[in-house]
A and B are shown apart, each in its own frame.
Chain A
Amino acid sequence: GAGVSQTPSNKVTEKGKYVELRCDPISGHTALYWYRQSLGQGPEFLIYFQGTGAADDSGLPNDRFFAVRPEGSVSTLKIQRTERGDSAVYLCASSLVRGHIKYFGAGTRLSVL
């Protein structure tokens, strides 16, 4: 497929556990973004990568959240010691370069019980 792919589509975990969410951007897109969308809310920015580096991580809510993009393509959002408030849909988007149109994945729905 040519779109942004996110896996898994659904993730159920217990409070206190560690989870990893994966994003495969569109091939050739250098910019990659993570957003979190809680029920009934618009997405909120988490982190933005330009290539391999995190150009802006000011949206990460606390140090339990961490994201990597080691080779400038696939990115992984990591959440440690999950809390029930982390339950949300985590959206990934990519664009050719910053400022170009963003293409979103379908998201990973995380449920922390």
Chain B
Amino acid sequence: KNQVEQSPQSLIILEGKNCTLQCNYTVSPFSNLRWYKQDTGRGPVSLTIMTFSENTKSNGRYTATLDADTKQSSLHITASQLSDSASYICVVSGRAGGTSYGKLTFGQGTILTVHP
């Protein structure tokens, strides 16, 4: 069964600190992996998208890494701000030939809280 597991489930950090969120997946064959940020009461917003040939991608203070061999990804947030408080969701898309083609498999998210 295609699954995406994220850790930790929740995380509290102080403003200005760095943090790393983890994502492990079993979706195969793999097409791409995306990280989304979802603020309370809003729809998810895309942060990064990576295909199997990409190891890292940055978007401002967000840096995502991907190891397609071990099926692991991480999202690193640098110099956190209060506005980073949100749910961060890892989403994996399957490639043609697999049962997950055309579908996205979502992790349950990591809830990040940044305190002043």
A residues adjacent to B (C-beta < 8 A):
4, 33, 35, 40-45, 48, 55-56, 58-59, 91, 93, 98-99, 101-102, 104-107
Contacts and interface: CB of A to CB of B under 8 A. Distances in A.
B20 interface: no
Contacts of B45: 104
Given A91-B43, A104-B43, A106-B43, A98 B106 contact: no
A98 B93 CA distance: 11
Chain B, interface size: which category?
A: 20 to 34
Contact of B49 (A35, A45, A48, A101): A101
Contact of A104 (B41, B44, B93, B103): B44
Given A91-B43, A104-B45, A106-B41, A55 B102 contact: yes
15 contacts: A33-B104, A35-B106, A42-B89, A42-B108, A43-B89, A43-B106, A44-B106, A56-B103, A59-B103, A91-B44, A98-B102, A99-B93, A101-B46, A104-B44, A106-B41
Contacts of A43: 44, 89, 106
Majority secondary structure of chain A interface residues (helix, strand, loop or mixed): loop
